[in-house]
Amino acid sequence: MHSVLVLLFSCAVPGDDSFSGGGTPGEPTGGGGSVGGNGGGDDGGGTDDTAEPKGCTADDLEWSTVVQNDRASKPFYSGDTIYFWGYVDNPCANTVSLELESTCLFDIVSLQPPNGAPAQQATVPGCTTTSQVVELESSDLLTKAYEWGPLYVMGSYSYALRVTTPDARVLTGSFTIQ
């Protein structure tokens, strides 16, 4: 069974420190996690078969980001309203606790426009500094969206989403306006 947890605090739209952006709108892309464990049973060897099985931790979660437009299709055109999505997926067999320092998955969006224009930054509205621990069961997906608004300048953009984990990890991606 696949569960999805959705946090949409500020918009209503119809691993380790390395992240990728892009991808098909609505589909996360990201790094790989791993599942640890022990097979148990008597293998006749000198191992301790009574040890607790090792499970995944927050370090094994898969982080990703995508950008989408109001038409939910590519390519992106001048005047399209842009939405940034952040995702965290639990690929593990066990529940993983994720500590967040906010009520939002990410709280700051940075955008680097094309042609040497100054970088822009937005604070995601509705986020509070109330810490929380989210329990992500196996196959759970936690997501957050932010509506940046329309973009008119054509060219290549890059962006970053500051995640509210204690290590303040950053999800990055890029896209092009035609």
Q: How far is Cα 17 from Cα 22, in angstroms, rounded to an integer?
A: 17
Residue 44 lies in a domain: no
| Domain carrying residue 80 | 4-29+53-177
Residue 48 lies in a domain: no
Integer Rg of the chain from CA: 19
Q: What angle do CA 145, 146, 150 make, to 5 degrees?
A: 130
pLDDT one-digit tens code per residue, 94-128: 999 999 999 999 999 999 999 999 999 999 999 99
- 76 φ, ψ to 5°? -90, 135
> What residues contact 140, with CB distance under 8 A and at least 6 apart?
3, 4, 5, 89, 90
Residue 59 lies in a domain: yes
pLDDT one-digit tens code per residue, 130-159: 999 999 999 999 999 999 999 999 999 999
Q: How many domains does one find in the chain?
A: 1
Whether pTM > 0.85 for this model: the answer is no
pLDDT one-digit tens code per residue, 50-79: 444 468 999 999 999 999 999 999 999 999
Q: DSSP character for 120?
A: E
Higher pLDDT, 63 or 47: 63
pLDDT of residue 50: 44
Does residue 169 register a pLDDT over 90? yes
Residue 34 lies in a domain: no
Does residue 39 register a pLDDT over 50? no
Does residue 47 register a pLDDT over 90? no
pLDDT (average), residues 12-23? 32
Residue 84: CATH number of its domain: 2.60.40.2360
